[in-house]
Structure 1
Amino acid sequence: MKQEPIHGIEALTAFAINAIRDAGQAAMDSYGKGRGPAKFDEGLVTQAELQINKRFRQAVDNQYPDHRMFTSKTPDTAYTHDSRRYMWIFDPIDGVDNYQAGIPIWGMSLALLENFWPVFGAFYMPATGDLFHARAGGKAFWGENRIRMTDDRPLDDESLMFTFSRFHQHYVSRFPGKIRNLGCTGAHLCYVAMGRADAAVTANESFQDLAATRMIVEAAGGRLYKASGEKFYLNDYLNGERIDEHLLVTAPGNCRAALDCLEKRR
């Protein structure tokens, strides 16, 4: 008789970390083999994403065959008590330009939901070996080291904010510190979570893009905010649609100060 898979949080977490590391090994096979930074190699990225997805799906099918994989067309959001209540959300390459050009700031994200409630999130950067992870409602970690955001650090000329590539076309900024774009939203959010940056502004993301790093940010003491300062709720975008507004990611104590630095261009 086939043994039933273990669904305790320790077993699920260990599986997720092993699976994302294994997928990272598959990703390294094509890393940096594009046509150079000046010309995007769509064929290489598409093939790499297919291979990485296949590697991850095989791991899930072998260990948890009844678990579901998230797609924007996932039709059934009904509550269930059986193993189908678990759903994996996997984004194989965040930072595709960097990936194909051999720039190490890229990664992959993995989230686990139970009846569409967050359980665990991880963001792995295979080229640097950095692994960020958190259990929903628990603590956030960089490898084995706990990470926490500072809620009372004032914004000044030493502050750092990460943004998307066309940020200056949308905003007049009075941010007193440095503004940078590394080309990888997941890395931006994780660097904010660990205190290497004070804030990040995102654009054109989706539920799949943010499902894992949202958990890491929140476990580290941060939040995702709308431009109005209201809290942003990611589950409003379970249908997979692109998020039609820019989001601020920061510690609650810095939200108002960061938003006051940003003026929308007319």
Structure 2
Amino acid sequence: MRLDLAKAFTRKAAEIAMRHFKRTEGRRKGNEGIVTDADAEIEEFVKQRIREVFPAERILGEETGFTEGAAADASAVPPNDLIARLGGLPKKQTVKGLFRDLPGPSATPSAGSTDETLWAIDPIDGTSAFAAGLPIWVISVGVVLKGLPEVGILSMPAINEMYWGDESGVFLNNKPVRLRQGMDQFDSESCLMVPSNSHRKYQINFPGKTRSMGSLAAHMAFVAAGAADAALLGRPHLWDIAGGAALVMRGGGQLLTLSGGPCDWAPLLAGQRPAEPLICGPEKTVRAILPYIKIREAVDY
């Protein structure tokens, strides 16, 4: 049911974003890039919708940080009622018989516990692109269950694409998609997605193409849909990657560090950056790409 709810409120959040798109300016927020009025409005809207149905569950948003869950509320709105109020599911889309309900909220756990349900929200991933009027930016919602991203919704309103996934698979506008087949040989048509600052932070000798579209969430969506072989993620926050990680992992991919180890989710769940840069994709592909990427120098992320 979380997937249904998240898809419904993400569609409404997309309407908010498009009202601001090409009509707003970005403001600096220290060393963390820029923010727009749309970021705050979307994050507050999404948080309120989650609170109506799952008041006991924690939320981590880029703009407001952690919001702790309240005690279970008997007056919480039934998910189907809220979905209907938000306009229902898209035409020809049904989840009956397709998705199993995910576990319901439990007692409030200790901070950082892997037993809790945590919603991770990036209201606009790719705010610089959004503020510049460029079309690739993402509303990202991820649901973390037992310490791992399990449900992801990535909406790209400017190009009318919505990626979503859970235990039933990964979909783009309701059509199933898949990662590219794992490989260890690359040619000029191979594609590695990279952050926009990769030219300053890394030495990359990848034999194929490198592309940067301005949004880590979009890069992960493209990997999950087979439009790219892998994506270098740098040292992101959980809100940057929770939705995309769910798609990649549900599709059979992995997130690894540049030293080849598994992603340590503990610091991410605590709101911190990982110790090492991350890369995602089919494990065979990722391990074959690792030798082509070197960190230039210690940099402040």
Q: Tell me which interval the TM-score lies in, with the shorter structure as reference length.
A: 0.7 to 0.9
Q: Any idea what the Cα deviations from partners look like across 1:203-224, whole Å, max 9, x if unmatched?
A: 2311222111111001112111
Is the contact made by 2:121 and 2:141 (CA closer than 8 Å) also made in structure 1? yes
Between Structure 1 and Structure 2, how many residues are aligned? 248
The answer as to 2:240 corresponding to 1:209 is yes
Is the contact made by 1:41 and 1:100 (CA closer than 8 Å) also made in structure 2? no
Question: 171, 187, 196: which is aligned to 2:218?
Answer: 187
Q: Give the aligned partner of residue 82 of structure 1.
A: 106
In 1, Cα distance between the equivalents of 2:222 and 2:47?
28
Question: 1, 9, 13: which is aligned to 1:23?
Answer: 13
3-state SS in 1 of match to 2:210: strand
The answer as to 2:254 corresponding to 1:264 is no
Give TM-score scaled by structure 2 length: 0.74
Question: 122, 126, 149: which is aligned to 2:157?
Answer: 126
Structure 1 segment 3-152 matched on structure 2, within 5 A? 11-34=1-24, 40-42=26-28, 45-70=35-60, 72-73=65-66, 82=106, 85-114=116-145, 116-135=147-166, 137-152=167-182
Between the aligned residues of both structures, percent identity stands at 28
3-state SS in 1 of match to 2:274: coil
3-state SS in 2 of match to 1:175: coil
Q: CA RMSD in A?
A: 2.5
In 2, Cα distance between the equivalents of 1:111 and 1:265?
31
C-alpha deviation, 1:34, in angstroms = 3.9
In 2, Cα distance between the equivalents of 1:224 and 1:117?
11
Q: Any idea what the Cα deviations from partners look like across 1:2-23, whole Å, max 9, x if unmatched?
A: xxxxxxxxx3221110011111
3-state SS in 2 of match to 1:187: helix
The answer as to 2:270 corresponding to 1:239 is yes
C-alpha deviation, 1:83, in angstroms = 6.7
Gaps of 5+ in 1: 1-10
Is the contact made by 1:95 and 1:106 (CA closer than 8 Å) also made in structure 2? yes
3-state SS in 2 of match to 1:99: helix
Question: 169, 188, 201: which is aligned to 2:200?
Answer: 169
Give TM-score scaled by structure 1 length: 0.83
In 2, Cα distance between the equivalents of 1:265 and 1:194?
30
Gaps of 5+ in 2: 70-103, 109-115
3-state SS in 1 of match to 2:153: strand
Q: Give the aligned partner of residue 4 of structure 1.
A: none
Runs of 4+ in structure 1 over 6 Å off = none
In 1, Cα distance between the equivalents of 2:203 and 2:194?
13
In 2, Cα distance between the equivalents of 1:117 and 1:19?
22
Is the contact made by 2:264 and 2:274 (CA closer than 8 Å) also made in structure 1? no
Q: Structure 1 residues 48 and 151 mapped into 2: Cα distance closer, same or farther (>3 Å)? A: same
